[in-house]
Structure 1
Amino acid sequence: MCFIWTCTRYLARRNPKVCVRISHPLAVLFVILTTFFFVGLQMFYVVPQLFDVGGMMYKLGWLLAIFIMYNIFGNMLACHVTNTSVESLPKDRQVAAPEEEHLWHYCDICEKLMPPRSWHCILCKCCILKRDHHCIFAATCIGHKNQRYFFWCTFFMALGTGVAWATHTIASLKYFIYSNLHSHNLPPFWLVFTLMLNTYALAAPVSLVIMQLSELGHNGALYDFNSDIYDMGLWENFKMIVGEKVLWTFLSPTVKSPLPHDGTQWKIKKADISEY
C-alpha cells in the first residue's frame, strides 16, 4: 500500500491528467477482477473442499459471497458518484457568512474562501469537504459526504478476503489432519499458491480499515491526523461518518442516513463550541 500511495502521489504531481486517465480505470478494473477471481476461486474450488456443494453450508456461503460483493461494488460506486466537493453545497453555503469568515481559509487555486477542514485536490480540481485523500480505486476524493461508503467498502473488502483466507487455511490444514502421516499427503499446489495470494490480498484492505478506525477514534482525517480537537467520542465520531442510521448502513449503500451537518461547521472539543 505504501508503494502504491507513493507512486500515485508522484504521478499526480508530475502529470495529473495522465494519473486520472491511467490509474483510475486500471485501479477500478483491478478491484473488479480481483473480487471476482477470489469469489470464483472460493465458491468453485476452495469451499467444495470443506462442504458438500448440495448442502446448506454451501448455499449459505453463496449468500455471504453475494452480500459481500454487493457491498463492495455498491459502496465503491456510491463513493464515486457522491459529490463531496465544496461546490456540492447550496450556493448560500459556499460563501462564508460574516461571522464565519475568520474560521474559513483562502484557497490560492480556487481563489476564494473555503470552509474549515476542506482542502484542494489537484486531480479533482476543486476543494473537498473534510478531505481525507484521493482514492484511485474509487476514482474520486474521499471526504465528508462519501467517507461512509469508503469505510464500508474497505470493511467488506477486508471481511471478504478474511473469510477467504480462513477457508483457504482450513482447507489446507484438512489435508494434514485427515491424511495418513506416512503418505506425506500435502495440499495441492494451487491451494497453497492461492493461499499466499490471499494473504497478500488481505493485507491491503486490513491496513485501510485500521487507518479508518484510527481516524474514527478522534474524528480526524489524513490532513489533521494528529489533531483531536474534533473528537466528540467514538459513537458521535462514527455518526459523523455514517450518518443518523449508524449501523443500519452496514446492510446496504442504499440505506438513507443523513449526516449531522453539511461539512462546514465542526464542533471543537477543547473549547466545547461550534465553528460558525
Structure 2
Amino acid sequence: MCFIWACTKYFARRNPKIFVRISHPTAVLFVIVTTVFFVVLQMFYVVPQLFDVHGLMYKLVWLVEIFIAYNIFGNMLACHITSTSVESLPKDRQFPKPEEEHLWHYCDVCEKLMPPRSWHCILCKCCILKRDHHCIFTASCIGHNNQRYFFWFTLFMALGTGVALATHMIATLKFFSYSDLIFLKFPKDNLPPFWLVFTLILNTYVFAAPVSSVLMQLSVFQHNGTLHDFYSDTCDLGLWENFKLTLGEKGLWTFLSPTVKSPLSHDGTQWKIKRHHSPKLHFLRVSD
C-alpha cells in the first residue's frame, strides 16, 4: 500500500495533467465495476447457497446490499461534486480581515493569502480548505466540505466487502466438517468450487484497502488533523466534537444517506486550537 501511495505521488508531481486523465476515470471505473461485481456475485451465487431465495432472509440481504451500494455510489458522487476549495467561499471570505492577516499564509502558486489549514493541490490547481489528500477514487480533493462523504464512502466500501467476505467464508466452510476444520483436513470428494475459493481470496484483498482507509480516517478524527499534520493535536477538541466538525450538526445520522442535510459549524476559515501550556481554547481567527 505504501509503495502504491509513493508511486502515485511521484507520477502526479511529474505530469499532473496526464495523471488526472488516466488515474481518475480508471479509479472511478474500478470502484463501480468492483461494487457491481460483488453485489451480483453475492446475491445470485453466494447468498443462495446460504438462504432460500424465496425466504425472508434472502430479501433482507437484498435490502442490506441495496442500502450499502446506494451509500457507496451516493457518497462517492457527493464527494466529487462538493467543492471544498477556497474559491468556493463567498467572495468576502476569500480574503482575510485586517485582524486575521497574521493567521493566514501566502500561497506562491495562487499568489494570495489563504486561510489556516488550507493547502495547494497541484491536481486541482487551487488551494483546498483543510486539505486532507487528493483521492483518485472520487476524482476530487478531500477537505473541509466533503470529508464527511469520503468517510462514509470508505466505511460503506469496507462494510460491503466485509459482508461479502463473511458470506464467502460461511459458504466455503459449509463444504468442511468440524473434524476437517479442527485437524486441518481437506475432503477429497466434496471440495468447494474453484470460483468460490478464487473470489474468496479476491474479496480478502479488496477488503483490505477500504479498511485501511477507514482506520486512517479514524486516526485523523482522533486528533482533528489531516494527512498533512497527522501527528498534530493542535485542533483536537475531543473525539465527539472532532466528529461533529466533520459530519456536521446531524452527526452520525449522516450514516443513513448522503442526502441528509447536516450543516457544518463553520466555513473552514476558523479553527479552535488548544495551547499546550493552557487548558483554554483559542480561535485561529477572531469571531465575528
Please indicate the TM-score interval, normalised by the length of the shorter structure: over 0.9
| Residue-by-residue CA offset, 1:61-110 (whole Å, 9 max, x unaligned) | 11101000000000000000000000000011100011111110000000
Equivalent-residue separation in structure 2 for 1:178 and 1:43 (angstroms): 27
Q: Which stretches of structure 1, 4 residues or more, deviate above 6 A after TM superposition?
A: 178-182
Equivalent-residue separation in structure 1 for 2:221 and 2:191 (angstroms): 44
Aligned to 1:53: 53
How many positions carry a matched residue from both structures?
Answer: 276
Equivalent-residue separation in structure 2 for 1:21 and 1:195 (angstroms): 32
Comparing 170-179 and 227-236, the one that deviates more: 170-179
Asked if the contact 1:130/1:143 (under 8 Å) is kept, the reply is: yes
Equivalent-residue separation in structure 2 for 1:186 and 1:131 (angstroms): 50
Which blocks of at least 5 consecutive residues in structure 1 are unaligned? none
Aligned to 1:22: 22
Equivalent-residue separation in structure 2 for 1:58 and 1:192 (angstroms): 22
- How far residue 182 of structure 1 moved from its aligned partner, in angstroms, is 6.6
Comparing 174-183 and 192-201, the one that deviates more: 174-183
Over the matched positions of the two proteins, sequence identity in percent amounts to 78
RMSD of aligned alpha carbons: 1.4
Alpha carbons of 1:169 and 1:97: their partners in 2 closer, same or farther (altered >3 Å)? same
- How far residue 242 of structure 1 moved from its aligned partner, in angstroms, is 0.6
Asked if the contact 1:128/1:143 (under 8 Å) is kept, the reply is: yes
Which blocks of at least 5 consecutive residues in structure 2 are unaligned? 181-185
Of 245, 268, 274, 1:269 maps to 274
Aligned to 2:83: 83
**5 Å matches for 1:182-261?**
184-261=189-266
- How far residue 7 of structure 1 moved from its aligned partner, in angstroms, is 2.1
- How far residue 6 of structure 1 moved from its aligned partner, in angstroms, is 1.9
Asked if the contact 2:176/2:187 (under 8 Å) is kept, the reply is: no
